[in-house]
Amino acid sequence: MRYAVGVKTEPVRPETESAPEGSGTTPAGHAATPDVPAERWTVDGLEDTPRGPVARLELPDGRTVVRPLSDLPPGVRGGDLLAVTDGPDGVTLRLLPDETAARRRAAQTTLDTLNAAGRADLPLNDDGDITL
């Protein structure tokens, strides 16, 4: 799917229902295009602006777009992963809580590994404080 940055000619429909992964239908029951998998967009951040709350979304190619928070499913948070599906009723954004949780666990594991490696190189005193 290709989306023009800052240009939206069709409505974005946030979804609160979940469809089983690989079910072949969108949450609203519309048939998904079988050969076009849903893209995964990451919620990079949520911000309050003079025009209202917005979400900064990172696309698979690394570009970011800003959308009104009202275009996203209720309860969305920074770091959440969204399935983006283009269908007959426009673009549908759906939260992917299982994939989001898996990414957060993987990121925490990486951070723990890096922290453990860094601690091994620090000069610590008998109390565990860094010796300067």
Summarised one tens digit per residue, pLDDT across range 66-106 is 999 999 999 999 999 999 998 888 888 999 999 999 999 99
**Is residue 103 located within the same domain as residue 87?**
no
Q: Do 70 and 105 sit in the same domain of this protein?
A: no
Q: How many domains does the chain have?
A: 2
Q: Which stretch of DSSP H or E encloses residue 84?
A: strand 81-87
Is the predicted pLDDT of residue 23 greater than 80, yes or no?
A: no
For residue 123, what are its two tokens? 């000069």
H/E run at residue 15 = strand 12-15
pLDDT at 21: 43
Which residues form the domain of 119? 96-132
Domain membership of residue 63 (yes or no) is yes
pTM: 0.63
What pLDDT is stored for residue 36 in this prediction?
56
What residues contact residue 112 under an 8 Å CB cut-off, 6+ apart? none
Helix (H) or strand (E) holding 107: helix 97-120
**67 shares a domain with 22:** yes
Is residue 71 domain-shared with residue 27, that is, in the same domain?
Answer: yes
Residue the block writes with tokens 């565990």: 128
Percent of the chain residues topping a pLDDT of 70 = 72
- Does residue 6 belong to any structural domain of this protein? no
- Same domain flag for 25 and 56: yes
Q: How many H-runs (helices) and E-runs (strands) does the chain carry?
A: 1, 6
| Neighbouring residues of 22: CB distance < 8 A, sequence distance ≥ 6 | none
On whether both 84 and 114 belong to a single domain, the answer is no
